[in-house]
Amino acid sequence: MSTSWTIPTVAIAVDLAVLTVRAERLHVLLVNRGVEPYRGRLALPGGFLSTEDEDIDVAAERELAEETGLDAAKLHLEQLRTYGAPTRDPRMRVVTVCYLAIVPNLPLPSAGGDADRARWVPVDRVLGRRGLLAFDHGQIIADAVDRARSKLEYTTLATAFCDPEFTISELRRVYEIVWSEELDPRNFHRKVTGVDGFLVPTGKRTSGNGGRPAVIYRRGPATVLHPPILRN
């Protein structure tokens, strides 16, 4: 290597795959791109580091707040993986560190900023469709959904899709919708109540939904499921 070689630097972006369950379907949060490249297409919320010194986790939280109005402290946020194909952005070399966020079915606080452009799109409407999404965001969403599906098996991630207080039925609907698979309510009830620290009863019950009132639970301290709840 010659003495004139210098360390190459590239632009770092942070992209967010924010998932939620609403209207009986799994949705991902997307924005309409207002600028080239891929102007007019749907894209994941995200952006470049604001300064050279910004932590990437902090950048993810900042983009989440700027583009969606969501507060990272109140939801599940984890790094998904990094995408660095040299041609993924036609303008320049961009390496993007992607994050997976899971949120309950909140009304999007669409106040100000770029947040107005953000909207929920059913995952099955964007997967396997070319020409709809910008960059390699279709692949990123597929990876995010895979990660979420598999983490439902071994972790308590499903509660991140729920409000702070929820019933076992609501939790079961999360599993059913994310997995696209029907689960027996009775067996599911037995399983989740059998895992130590998964669910904590609040003492309250639902009312007014028709049918027998359900016990209302809160998330417990457990993060992993022993035994796991496996798919078929």
- Residues within the interface to DNA (CB under 7 A): 167-169, 184-187, 189-191, 193-194, 205-215, 227-230, 232
Cα–Cα distances in angstroms (integers) from residue 156 to residues 47, 130, 201, in the given order: 30, 33, 16
Q: How far apart are CA 189 and CA 176, in angstroms?
A: 13
For the CB of residue 194, give the shortest distance to DNA in the complex, in Å: 7
Identify whether 104 is preceded by a cis peptide bond (ω within 30 of 0). Answer: no
Considering only 65, 95, 127, 222, the residue that binds a second copy (CB under 8 A) is: 95
Of a second copy, DNA, none, which one sits near residue 110, judging by CB under 5 to 8 A according to partner kind? none
Listed in sequence order, the residues at least 6 apart from 205 whose beta carbon sits closer than 8 Å to its beta carbon are: 213, 214, 215, 216
Residues 121-160 that bind a second copy (CB under 8 A): 154
Q: Establish how many alpha carbons lie within 13 A of residue 211's alpha carbon, considering only the half-sphere containing its beta carbon.
A: 5
Single residue of 84, 90, 113, 201 touching a second copy by CB under 8 A: 84
| Binding letters toward a second copy, positions 45-74, x by CB under 8 A | ---xxxxxxxxxx-----------------
Q: How is residue 186 written in tokens?
A: 């009775």
Which residues of this chain interact with a second copy, rule CB under 8 A? 7-12, 48-57, 79, 81-82, 84-86, 92-93, 95, 97, 154, 227-228, 230
